[in-house]
Structures are given as C-alpha cells and as structure tokens.
Structure 1
Amino acid sequence: MIRSMTGFARSSFESQDISMTVEIRALNSKNLELNLRLPYSYRSWEDELRTAIKPQLLRGKVDVNLNVNYQGASAAAELNKDIISNYIQQLREIADVTPAELLPIATRLPDALQSAEVLSDDNQKKEVFILVHQAIRQLIDYQTAEGQAMTKDLNTQIESIKKGLEHINDKKDLRIQQVRSKLQDNLKSLAVEVDQNRFEQELIFYLEKFDINEEIVRLRQHLLYFCEVMNNEREAKGKKLGFIAQEIGREINTIGSKANYASLQKEIVQMKDALERIKEQLLNIL
C-alpha cells in the first residue's frame, strides 16, 4: 500500500460555548517536519500532541493548526496579564519607551486577550485530541486514495521498462552478430592473412565488452523487487523505492553505454523516460 505525503484535512467541534477547528496540511519532505500552531493557553499540550501525531504521519512537512472561538457568555474577554507583561518587557529591550506607551501595542499582539472562562480544562483537552485524531484519519484516507492512483501510474511505468528490456533482450544477439560481421568485413578489406584462432580469441574478448546479459538479469531483479516493496503492507516505503530506482537507473545506463546500436538506444531512451516519471512520483510517496 502506497500513501502520498501531501494532503489536507479539517475536523470541527461546536457547542453553545465554544467552537474548535483542527486543520492539517501536509507536503512532501525527506523527513517529518511537524509544526503545531496552538492558542497560548493550549501550548502545554504540545508535547503530548506531537507524541500522538508522529507515529501516524512518519514523513512530510506537516502543519497542524488549532483555532478556538468562544461563544455567548464564554466569549467575554479579559487581559492576559502575564503575556502582556512579557511583551512589554521584550519591547523595552529594543525601544527606550515607558511601559504605558507600549501597552496599546502589547494588547494587540497574539493571545493578549483571552476568554474569561477557564481555557484548558480536561474536557477541552479531550475534545482537542479527538479532533486531532479525526483530522489525522481524514488525512491518511486522503493520502491513501491518492496513493492508489500513484500505484497505478508506477505500475504503468514499470511495465514500460520491462517491455523495453525484453525488446533489448530479443535484439542483443543480432547486435553481436552485426559487430562480428563488421569486424570480419573490415579485416577482409585490409587483404591481410590472420590467424583464425587468434582472431576468434580476440573477438571473444572484444565482444565481452558489449555483453549485457548480466545487466539484463540484474535489471529484471530490481524491477521485481521494486514491485514487491511497492505492494507490501508496510506504509513508509518511499525512501526504499527511491534506492531501488537508483539501482534501476544504474543498470539502464550501463546497458545504454554498452549497447551502441540504434534500435536499442531507442528503447533505452524510453526506459529512461519511464524511470524519470517514477522518480517524480517517489518524491511524494511516504
């Protein structure tokens, strides 16, 4: 099963006194970059939220945003004195002005005002964690659905490489025969006597440089392994598939350098094009 690294999810809760919304946006990244944006009064839960989120997302640049709005009587606001005092202290370090002059600025900064209600009670904490888990589930469902489409495209590209490889395998003996014939014709044109046994020995040595049987076998194995990893149950497989794709590319390049034959080079170009499409997809796979 393949999962995409990108996606968006939203989960909401609303009561007579409060509304909460959790939004999660995920983009591709080599490792997990988890950014949480929480109201000030909820930041004491950040470590617990990170611990709950990390095992489920594994990779990607993930932004989690919690919005909380109080309604009715709960919406009555009061000054958050600790935060305002901290703002004023920091502002005085960069501006030589009195606290009274800084107060209007500080009260407009984030979290300077808070609900008159107690913000961080156990019921709200429970609801926040429920919303986060719901949003993660939605995100995973989205990533899984996108992963199914990516799997279909990857299979198409792998089949394209396999098809090109079989065409090369069918033509490789003809290429060797043509190389042999060309060398023999060149010798005949020189009108010189050669030792036939020595000629055959040198010819075998020369043709070994053009032999691509080992590369064909290895490439088949890499393609098979790629499909096995792609279809197993493990979720995080993007990096491993990337390593296998590198090995596939190495064998294709080696075959291309040895197979200096027009019809084979056409197959090589098409195989490289399919591999590039695979690599582009792998950048977005968990």
Structure 2
Amino acid sequence: MLESMTGYGSAERAEKGMKVLVELRSVNNRFAEIGVKLPRQLLARELEVRELIRGNFQRGKISAFVQLQLDEQDEQLPVTVNAAKVRGYKALLETVRQEAGVESPVTLDHILRFSEIFESDNTILDRPDEIWQIAQSAVVEAVEKLKEMRRKEGEELAGDFTVRIAEIDRTLAEIQVIAADNLETIRKRLSSKIIAIAGRDVEYSRDRLEMEIVMAADKLDITEECTRFNSHNKFFIEELNNMSSGSGRKLNFLLQEQLREANTIASKSQNADISQKVVHIKEELEKVREQLQNIE
C-alpha cells in the first residue's frame, strides 16, 4: 500500500489540571526531516519526540508543534500567597512610612513589589516526568493519525496511477497495431526503390540491397521497445500493491524507464500517428511524475 508524504495529525490530552496539544504537519521532502517546537517544560525531551516520529516515517518534512497549557476548567492557580509574609511586609512598610514622616498610606501596589509573598504550589508543572507521560501519549496518537491520513492519500494516488497506466497500455496497444502496418509500408517502399534501381543501367548487388532493406526495417522496428514498455507498466502496477517501504523511489525509477522507451519509440517509428500517440503517453507519464513527488 502506497503512503503519501503529505498529511496532518493532531491529538489532545487533558489530565491533572493541564492540557497537552500536539499537531503534526507533513509535506514532500527527499529525506526524513523533522522539526520540533516544544514548551519550556519539555525541551529536555526533544530527542525522544524526534525518535517517536522518525521511527514511523521514511520520507517527508514533518513539523511537530507541542503546546502545554492549564486546563481552562481548572481555576486553581499554581501559586499560593504567604499570608504571614504579607502581614510582615505591610508592617515593615508602615514602620518605614512613619519613620520617614510620609502621610500617604501603604497600598497594595507597594506590597506586590515583594515577590516573596507568592509561593509556588506543588503542581504538575513542577513534575516534568508526569508532563512527559501525558505529552508522549498525545504525540503517539498524533503520529497514528498522521500515518492514517498519509495512507488514505496514498490510496487515492494509487487509484489515479492505475487509471493512467491502463490508459498508457491502451495507447501502446494502438501504437503496436499502427507499427505493424507501418513496418510493412516501409518494406514495400524500399522494395520499390530497388525495382526502380534495377531498371536502370547501373551495376549493383541485389543481395546487398536486400540486406540493406532488412537492416533499415530493423532499425525502424519498435517491437522490442513496446515489449519493454509493457513490462515496465506491469512492474509499476505490481509495485503499487507492494507494502514494502521505498516504493516511491522504485516507481520513480520505473517512470524514467517508461519515458526512455516512449522517446525511443517516437524517434524510431517515423510515423505521424505513432508520434501523436507517444505525445499522449508522455502527457500521462508527466502527470504520474508530478504525483509521484508525494509518495514516500
């Protein structure tokens, strides 16, 4: 089963008062290239995130975005107020105000300048291992969703390839019919020239002329090219149904061979009808080539 290199996968995990959101985006690339953007609490896990992704994909440029946020339904803040310190700083400020002879009262703004009145609560944000457990499960789910989308894209492309190769096979069969008649026409034309030469008072070797006819006809014969082309088409369809990795590279190789045979047929045939049908085949192959850029 073919797999496309383009796709999208996302996952969300909400546990213990926090939420992890993961997004994976994949586009075409010759090799596997993975970019990861993580929140501060997970920076130490970047290599592990990369390996989770890399182990599932052979090719494609994959961008991973991981977000960490407090659960919107959890109203508890990850900090608490030290009431004793608040009272102590207030009393201290009152003493300073009296000693300095300042009449303005002590306000909340003055007290908030002392960050010590706030203390960090022992929340999930202070336990990176627990954050990673939740984030890891979200990454795994996003990877599976991305794989599923890439598989579906691959199925669509495989169907398109099958239709186009069938059209190429049909056109190639028409070319072979035309080529058989074309070859016979060429033989007759060359034979007519021999007869014309024989009617003149010119010394010549009949055996040599007949051999030249055979050689000329052989040079214009495209049977071998058509046979190889049919073989490449068969292997192409077989590879479409092959579950092994690296199918994209194999199909690209077969496509190059198909294009080579098409060009050879066009150059050898010396027939306008065949040349026109070869143009149609090459148009189909070009469409296949464009889509092959999406295959892993």
After superposition, the C-alpha distances for 1:62-82 in whole angstroms (9 at most, x for unaligned) are 0000011124334559xxxxx
Change beyond 3 A, Cα 1:76–1:69: farther
TM-score for the superposition, normalised by structure 1:
0.81
Q: Is the Cα contact below 8 Å between 1:74 and 1:116 reproduced in 2? A: no
User: What residue ranges of structure 2 are gaps of 5+ in the alignment?
Assistant: 81-119
Q: Is the Cα contact below 8 Å between 2:15 and 2:134 reproduced in 1? A: no
Q: Is the Cα contact below 8 Å between 2:27 and 2:62 reproduced in 1? A: yes
Change beyond 3 A, Cα 1:120–1:3: farther
What's 1:233 paired with?
243
SS at match of 2:243: coil
Residue identity over aligned pairs, in percent, reads 28
Change beyond 3 A, Cα 1:245–1:50: same
Matched, 1:211 2:194: no
Matches within 5 A, 1:246-285: 246-285=256-295
- Tell me by how many angstroms 1:207 deviates: 1.4
Report the residue type matching 2:190 in the other structure: L
- Tell me by how many angstroms 1:39 deviates: 1.0
Find the partner of 1:73 among 71, 76, 83.
76
- Tell me by how many angstroms 1:189 deviates: 5.2
CA distance in 1, matches of 2:126, 2:214: 83
- Tell me by how many angstroms 1:186 deviates: 4.0
User: What residue ranges of structure 1 are gaps of 5+ in the alignment?
Assistant: 78-113
Matched, 1:156 2:163: yes
Question: Rg larger in 1 or in 2?
Answer: 2
What's 1:20 paired with?
20
Matched, 1:135 2:138: no
Report the residue type matching 2:144 in the other structure: R
- Tell me by how many angstroms 1:161 deviates: 1.2
CA distance in 1, matches of 2:257, 2:182: 25
CA distance in 2, matches of 1:115, 1:199: 102
What's 1:63 paired with?
63
Report the residue type matching 1:141 in the other structure: E
Change beyond 3 A, Cα 1:63–1:266: same
SS at match of 2:36: strand
Change beyond 3 A, Cα 1:181–1:20: same
TM-score for the superposition, normalised by structure 2:
0.78
CA distance in 2, matches of 1:131, 1:167: 55
Moved over 6 A (4+): none
What's 2:191 paired with?
184
What's 2:35 paired with?
35
Matched, 1:121 2:128: yes
- Tell me by how many angstroms 1:15 deviates: 3.6
CA distance in 2, matches of 1:167, 1:115: 79
Superposition RMSD on alpha carbons, in Å? 2.2
CA distance in 1, matches of 2:121, 2:254: 55
CA distance in 2, matches of 1:76, 1:268: 74
Q: Is the Cα contact below 8 Å between 1:13 and 1:19 reproduced in 2? A: yes
- Tell me by how many angstroms 1:20 deviates: 1.1
What's 2:211 paired with?
201
SS at match of 2:56: helix
- Tell me by how many angstroms 1:126 deviates: 1.1
CA distance in 2, matches of 1:120, 1:59: 35
- Tell me by how many angstroms 1:278 deviates: 0.8
- Tell me by how many angstroms 1:182 deviates: 2.2
